[in-house]
Amino acid sequence: MKCYKAKWILTSESEILEDYALVVDEGKIIDLIPNKEVHFEDKIVKDLGNAVITPGFVDMLTQFQYTKAGHSGAKSLKNKIKKFFLTISKNYTFAGVKQDVYSLKWANILCDYFSSDRAEKLESFKSGVVGSIKSGTTCFAQVSREFKYFDIINRIPVKKYLFFEVFSDSKEKSKKKFKDLRGKVEELIYHKGENTHIGIMLNSVSGAHKKLWELFSKYCRKHNMLILTRFAESQDEIEWLQFGFSDIDLLHKFLGLRKITPYSKNISPVDYLDNLKVLTNKIIAANANYADEDELKNLSDKGVKYIYQPYYSDEICNKKLDFKTVLKYFSGNFGFSTQSFKENKDFSLLKLANRMNEDANLPVEELIKYLTIYPAQILRLENSTGSIKIGKDADFNVFKLPEGADYQELKNLDIPYAVYSKGRKLVKDGEVRFSL
């Protein structure tokens, strides 16, 4: 048993506790008691002094495999040759396309990634995981269409959702993709650890044939599984829906897909999925950068959950929703993602949230909920994580405060002093205490 005394505990429930202690045993929170009532043996009491304890943070969309994409370079001769031919293919496919176009940006990322070998991809993945946990993340939702990451994800000592990404370009391929992925997912369910959860990611409106949407929507409703998708995130997607073609066709060609045609033209992304009857409260939509306010309201009314990706939207999509707009339509029903393709990535959810909150000026204790209990609820993990509550797993962060400062100082902090998952100390003062 361990007891952690702090000046403040932000529970992400209804209370802000002052001069309280968190009592942990066998990975669970077993009590919350005033510091003055702590009478345990000294060896089990950790007095954190002027510190604030928060629940561990939840990153709603990660792709850690791309952490070093575009920044490390192909190392072996084999990979350099592979990169050379991929680059030729990409340049030929996107000849004449402006460099700031969404589809070309993704082609550049994938060109770098595909020219890496397995060891380099795993190194990139592990680098992202470590950076995220050091920043206070104790739960993340990882997106990948490769199964190679399953074993390592299963061993990571935090909670994680693994969303398997799927594309399809025809009715026939949709049926095969559905059958293959369903079989693989059902096999992996029997091998996953208790901290690993599995969902489906349908790439996007333009990246998955309508038949695939129908098949997986029905399957996920039946098996109570979550579906994640990138939604209305690029001008390329809007043009594809409007005219039946856009630069997104070039990205699909580069990926080896046939041309995907929308079932109807001059239609909005919301109407496209709504007409398929797949918009439910089990859908988690990322970005919606190019959705108008009527479409955002429609999404909200349907119970669709939302992921806010400011870095990714600025870097790749050329547009992002204003934070106040996100709050207007998805209040209490969204979480943040730190996904970025910059060389020196910042995995701090707290820093990102503080930056976005400069104009909205939410109270600190409410802002923290968008990093903790709200995304935990979206991932349906609120019974075990997301808040400091008796009976839940001891997933929490410790932030040291300057002398005389109170929990409001979190507005000026980025990285926790210590990170705990199920009572296990994973990070202390920047030092990682786990291995992958």
Phi and psi for 256 in degrees, rounded to 5? 85, 15
CB 56 within 8 A of CB 399: no
Between 146 and 434, the higher pLDDT residue: 434
pLDDT level of residue 152 (50, 70, 90 thresholds): confident
- Tell me, what's the pLDDT at 151? 85
pLDDT above 80 for 77: no
- Tell me, what's the pLDDT at 76? 76
pLDDT level of residue 80 (50, 70, 90 thresholds): confident
Structure token digits, residue 148: 């190679």
Each domain of the chain, given as residue ranges in start order, spans 2-55+387-432, 58-378
pLDDT above 90 for 56: yes
pLDDT above 90 for 69: no
CATH architecture of the domain formed by 2-55+387-432: Roll (2.30)
pLDDT above 90 for 150: no
- Tell me, what's the pLDDT at 263? 92
pLDDT above 70 for 274: yes
The mean pLDDT of 333-337, rounded to a whole number, is 98
Q: Per residue in 84-121, pLDDT tens? A: 889 999 999 999 999 999 999 999 999 999 998 888 89
What does the DSSP assignment read for 423-434?
A: TEEEEETTEE--
- Tell me, what's the pLDDT at 79? 80
Q: Per residue in 301-314, pLDDT tens? A: 999 999 999 999 99
pLDDT level of residue 164 (50, 70, 90 thresholds): very high
pLDDT level of residue 349 (50, 70, 90 thresholds): very high
Environment class of residue 151 by beta-carbon count within 10 Å: exposed (0-12), middle (13-18) or buried (19+)?
Answer: exposed
Q: Per residue in 217-260, pLDDT tens? A: 999 999 999 999 999 999 999 999 999 999 999 999 999 999 99
pLDDT above 70 for 199: yes
Residues 136, 138, 140, CA angle at the centre, nearest 5°?
110
- Tell me, what's the pLDDT at 74? 63
pLDDT level of residue 146 (50, 70, 90 thresholds): confident
Helix (H, G, I), strand (E, B) or coil at 302: coil
Whole-model pTM: value is 0.96
Identify the CA nearest to 381 among candidates 413, 348, 350, 421: 421
231 secondary structure, DSSP code: E
pLDDT level of residue 73 (50, 70, 90 thresholds): low
Amino acid at 210: K
CATH architecture of the domain formed by 58-378: Alpha-Beta Barrel (3.20)
pLDDT above 80 for 70: no
- Tell me, what's the pLDDT at 92? 94
